[in-house]
Amino acid sequence: MTNPKVTILVPFYKQAEYVQSTLDGCVNQEYDNFEIVVRDDFSNDGTAEKILEYIEKSDKKHLFTYVDIGDNNLGLTKSINRLLKSTKGEIIVLNGGDDISFPERINKAVELIYKYNVDLIGSDAITINHEGKIIRNTSLIADAHTAYGKGQYYPEDNIYLFKNLDYHTMFNNSYGGYSLVFKRNLLDVNNGILPENLYNEDYFLIFMAHINNGTLFSIAPLLYRRIGKFNLSQSDNSTREKVIANFLYQIEYHLGTLNEELKIAESGDYILSKDKDKIANVLKGYITIKNFEKNAYTKRKYTKNLGYIKEFFVNSQFKLDHKLLFFLSALFPGLYTEYRLRRVRNWQKYVKKTKKTEDS
């Protein structure tokens, strides 16, 4: 088995109370060839001081590189880039400032990446609260076999592989950014760092992996994911109006991401697979879908849907069954909206079902 140098990146921001548990999870890896690169993004709660205190007291301080706090807040992507410039690893582990890696995380991730020759791995996580108490044994909003069933399942490793599949499957497949481990060479397209105008660094990494050597998802959790006091991924879906408002927010977010990916696909500055035109056309198709959804949820002009149908039907990368499904959705946007609302209710039921009670 290969034994590449691994870098754990830990970008902190206003997470002083989690420094101890987060860095304990990083230090206590079973792997024997890794480093930890840490930075605080100009917090005002003493996070930087806690990090330096932890490193000074650690008997494994040789593992650490501390990147200076700087004199202003950079934001997540730029902060990660400051960390990346100080790394030596061939494999990069993203570790949130409030998440805790299991001791076997690096071992398992490296083993799977090289066994299946992929560029990136995502995994499930055990969800903990602000106090570190387990509240769910998963971080998913649907059963893993339902969520990732379009991939190829390997029961011996309990993973789903997404490799050499059609691009529709690829672009409909994503993982929580908190769980990502990836090959550093994915960033060769941008001089070893992330493009700093990204809407979402997670989607960029997954996108680049999908169009190169593929990805996989480990159903077995490899870390604790903390739902803290300031976690931005928690949405209020208590009413129909709030669900639709969240849909619209997500659509704008995804449109930004898709347009960024399209720019990458059409640019000569990025190293893509031979199917560059196919990738671009699939992305254009998903942009059409998102524009239709935005129109449907806001009950705007019905005639716009006819234009979206035309855009979608002339897209050579979508099969007839895709086109017929989109045609029906665009003809009956009210029914499509109700279908999506039902899916959210099912997700809510799954999350409620998988929550741990005091007795469990």
Closest CA to 303 of 276, 277, 331: 331
pLDDT for the residue numbered 115: 97
Q: Write out 149-200 in H/E/C secondary structure.
A: CCCEEECCCCEEEECCCCHHHHHCCCCCHHHCEEEHHHHHHHCCCCCCCCCC
- Which has more confidence, 113 or 71? 113
Q: Which of 73-82, 168-177, 258-267 has the highest mean pLDDT?
A: 73-82
CATH 3.90.550.10 fits 6-227, yes or no: yes
User: What backbone phi and psi angles, to 5 degrees, belong to 91?
Assistant: -115, 135
Kindly tell me if the per-residue pLDDT of 106 is higher than 50. yes
Q: What is the dihedral of CA 331, 333, 336, 340, to 10 degrees?
A: 160
Q: What percent of the chain has pLDDT over 90?
A: 56
338 contacts: CB under 8 Å, gap ≥ 6: none
pLDDT (mean) for 131-148: 93
Domain layout of the chain by residue ranges: 6-227, 240-346
In order, the DSSP letters of 94-136 are: E--TT-EE-TTHHHHHHHHHHHTT-SEEEE--EEEETTS-EEE
> Beta-carbon neighbour count of residue 311 at 10 Å?
17
Residue 319 has pLDDT above 50, yes or no: yes
Q: Look at residue 69 and tell me whether its pLDDT is greater than 80.
A: no
Residue of 79, 77, 19 lying closest to 47 (CA atoms): 19
pLDDT of residue 347: 84
Instruction: Pick the range with the lowest mean pLDDT from 116-120, 188-192, 330-334.
Output: 188-192
Best-predicted range by mean pLDDT (169-173, 296-300, 307-311) = 307-311
Decide: residue 328, CB within 10 A, 0-12 exposed, 13-18 middle, 19+ buried.
exposed
**pTM for this model (two decimals):** 0.88
What is the strand order of the sheet 100-101 is part of?
100-101, 223-227, 126-129, 134-136
Which residues are CB-neighbours of 261 under 8 A, at least 6 positions away? 203, 204, 207, 283
- Please report the pLDDT score of residue 107 as a whole number: 98
* pLDDT score recorded for residue 358: 58
Residue 289 · residue 322 · CB < 8 Å: no
Q: What is the pLDDT of residue 269?
A: 54
- pLDDT value at 182 more than 70: yes
At residue 168, the pLDDT reads 62
Tell me the average pLDDT across 127-142: 93
pLDDT higher for 167 or 327? 327
End-to-end CA distance of the chain: 39
Q: To which residue do tokens 């991401």 refer?
A: 257
Query: Does the pLDDT value for residue 131 go beyond 60?
Result: yes
Model confidence over 242-295: pLDDT tens digits? Answer: 888 888 988 998 898 888 888 877 875 555 555 778 788 888 999 999 999 999
Q: Are strands 159-162 and 152-154 parallel, antiparallel or unpaired?
A: antiparallel
Burial class (CB in 10 A: 0-12, 13-18, 19+), 246: middle
Per-residue pLDDT for 301 more than 90?
no
Distance CA 318, CA 285 (A): 8
**At residue 247, what are phi and psi to the nearest 5 degrees?**
-55, -50
Rounded to whole angstroms, what are the CA distances from 58 to 11, 29, 61? 19, 14, 5
> Tens of pLDDT along 192-230?
888 877 767 888 899 889 888 899 999 999 999 998 544
- Give me the pLDDT at residue 232, please: 38
The pLDDT value recorded for residue 233 is 45
Mean pLDDT of the chain: 88
- Does residue 315 register a pLDDT over 70? yes
> How far is residue 278's CA from residue 346's CA, in Å, rounded to a whole number?
33
Mean pLDDT to the nearest integer, 41-49: 91
pLDDT, mean of residues 335-340: 91
- On the question of pLDDT at 53 being above 90, the answer is yes
> What are the CA-CA distances from residue 349 to residues 86, 138, 141, 247 (Å)?
44, 14, 9, 18
Mean pLDDT of the 67-88 span: 86
Choose the most confident range, by mean pLDDT, from 203-207, 313-317, 324-328: 324-328
pLDDT of residue 6: 98
156 has pLDDT over 80: yes
Q: 140: which residues sit within 8 A by CB, 6+ positions away?
A: 124, 147
